Amino acid sequence: MNEADVLIIGAGPSGAVASALLTAAGRSVIVLEKQQFPRFSIGESLLPHCMRFIEMAGMMQPLVDAGYQHKNGAVFVRNGQFNSFDFRDKVSPGWGTTYQVVRADFDHLLAREAERLGADIRYRQEILECEFVRDRVRLLAQTADGERLRYDGRFLLDASGFGRVLPRLLKLDRPSQFPVRRSINTHVEDRITHPDYDRNKILIGVHPEQHDVWYWLIPFSGGRSSIGVVARDSFYQGLPTDPLTRIRGLIEQEPTFALLLKDAVYDTQVREIAGYAADVSSLWGPGFALLGNAGEFLDPVFSSGVTIAMKSASLAVAAVDRQLDGEAVDWEADYAKPLKRGVDTFRAFVETWYDGRFQDIVFYKRQQPEVKRMIAAILAGYAWDEANPYVEEPMRRLEVLAKVCRAQAE
């Protein structure tokens, strides 16, 4: 039997950060990861707020040294109208810049750092079963060679992302309130030479006719980019089935993307990911907590996934550490509620993006500077900063602001 204070399922961003923070707190940790790293993952545009968690985990210097593409904001385009948000010009204190990363590389870097800091990561071990016996948790893992191994710990963090191990095993899965959407995406050698193009910002484009269909252009260092399209599943009906033809055809439909990517070399597998929005009935239970995507995943539009994953790791580790010291922890009050605060902020932004209200806010040119700095703070990931009125009452504020922007734009 392999034993540790805390067992973690998955070595993605939430698992790596949680394991490093626990190790720093003097806890023994075993991370069980199904795949061998480096491995592909989606989610390449980071938000400045996640830099705080990377810093807390003691992983900043290697990240800075890695030479990733700098990111300081977001540009939005719809029917030839542009608006730009600079994340350094925001109301919340904290980092205003970050990176755009090839996730295979970035996740490997975080995992290697977690190991260097003392976490024990075991690759190619897939969790099959989980059992809670009195105050212990037992896991059954299967190695890539078919060997079965047992693990025993005092607490379990599920950081298995879209693998959703505990939601499946403990029947915690709950359908997301968002419709099923599908993303088609790939990496290209972008060959972008347009003088107005700002590589330091993610570019988000809106489909000229279907405003709930959107595009991303995430530049990496080295002249490469990630490109992707997100739409309701039904939007793809009737499009070419060959993935390369399909994505090239979609890029052609958005004039700015078509122009910027006119010389792009499509040299990488095109992938489709569908039905990723997910929810759970509870983010914790006796002896376990769900981190990152193993809990709730909303939507990719504001690149919030890695930041939420790392925030969940930092909150959960503080609570686990106290529990292992024998303190009584109220997981709802100390973990689920504070985590949901920021998730609910993003939820309001996502909902109003797709119904068009937040798009009208984004493309409104005469925004009051202070309001723009509040919006920029959320787009930079500071969705938990209660001093920001858009965190305090996200939906009401967005509804009011959208009305004002729409009225004044007429």
Residues lying near ligand FAD in the complex (CB under 6 A) are found at 9-15, 32-35, 41-46, 126-127, 159-163, 165, 183, 273, 276, 291-294, 297, 300, 303, 305-307, 309
Q: How far is CA 134 from CA 137, 178, 332, in A?
A: 8, 37, 21
What whole-number distance in Å separates Cα of residue 165 and Cα of residue 137? 14
In this structure, the dihedral spanned by the alpha carbons of residues 60, 63, 64 and 66, taken in order and rounded to 10 degrees, is 160
Residue 352: in which H helix or E strand, if any? helix 337-354
In whole angstroms, what is the distance from residue 348 CA to residue 361 CA?
13
Q: Work out whether the CA dihedral 191, 194, 200, 204 comes out positive or negative.
A: negative
User: Per DSSP, which regions of 93-223 are E strands?
Assistant: 98-100, 120-122, 125-133, 136-143, 148-158, 173-174, 181-189, 201-206, 214-219
Q: 305 vs 394, which CB is nearer to ligand FAD?
A: 305
Q: How far is the C-alpha of 167 from the C-alpha of 173, rounded, in Å?
A: 5
Give the nearest distance from C-beta 95 to ligand FAD in angstroms. Answer: 14
Tokens of 221: 């260092």
Q: How far is the CB of 303 from ligand FAD (least distance, A)?
A: 4
Q: Which is nearer to ligand FAD, 75 or 405 (CB)?
A: 75
Give the residue with the Cβ less far from ligand FAD, 79 or 212: 212
23 within 8 A of 58, measured Cβ to Cβ: no
Cα distance between residue 334 and residue 244, in whole Å: 46
Separation between Cα atoms, residue 31 and residue 122, nearest integer Å = 6
Q: Report in angstroms how near the CB of residue 237 gets to ligand FAD at its nearest.
A: 19
Shortest Cβ 99–ligand FAD spacing (Å) = 11
CB of 361 to ligand FAD, least distance (A): 21
226 vs 359, which CB is nearer to ligand FAD?
226
Task: Please provide the distance, in angstroms rounded to a whole number, between the alpha carbons at the two ends of the chain.
Answer: 69
Using the minimum distance from each CB to ligand FAD, give the nearer residue, 69 or 293.
Answer: 293
User: How crowded is residue 363: how many other Cβ atoms within 10 Å of its Cβ?
Assistant: 18
User: Which residue, 299 or 360, has its beta carbon nearer to ligand FAD?
Assistant: 299
Q: Which is nearer to ligand FAD, 48 or 305 (CB)?
A: 305
Q: How far is the CB of 92 from ligand FAD (least distance, A)?
A: 18
Q: Residue 293 — φ and ψ, nearest 5°? A: -70, -15
Q: Answer yes or no: are the C-beta atoms of 308 and 175 closer than 8 Å.
A: no
Contact present, 174 and 279 (Cβ < 8 Å): yes
Minimum distance from residue 375 beta carbon to ligand FAD (Å): 18
In the bound state with ligand FAD, the residue whose beta carbon lies nearer, of 42 and 404, is 42
Nearer to ligand FAD, 214 or 364 (CB): 214
Shortest Å distance, C-beta 83 to ligand FAD = 19
Residue 140, strand partner residues: 129, 150
| CB nearer to ligand FAD: pick between 378 and 405 | 378
CA distance 346 to 309: 13
Is there a contact between 286 and 132 (Cβ–Cβ < 8 Å)?
A: yes
Contact 231, 213 (CB under 8 A): yes
Single-letter amino acid, residue 401: L
Shortest Å, Cβ 368 to ligand FAD: 28
Provide the minimum distance between the beta carbon of 18 and ligand FAD in the complex, in angstroms, as a whole number.
9
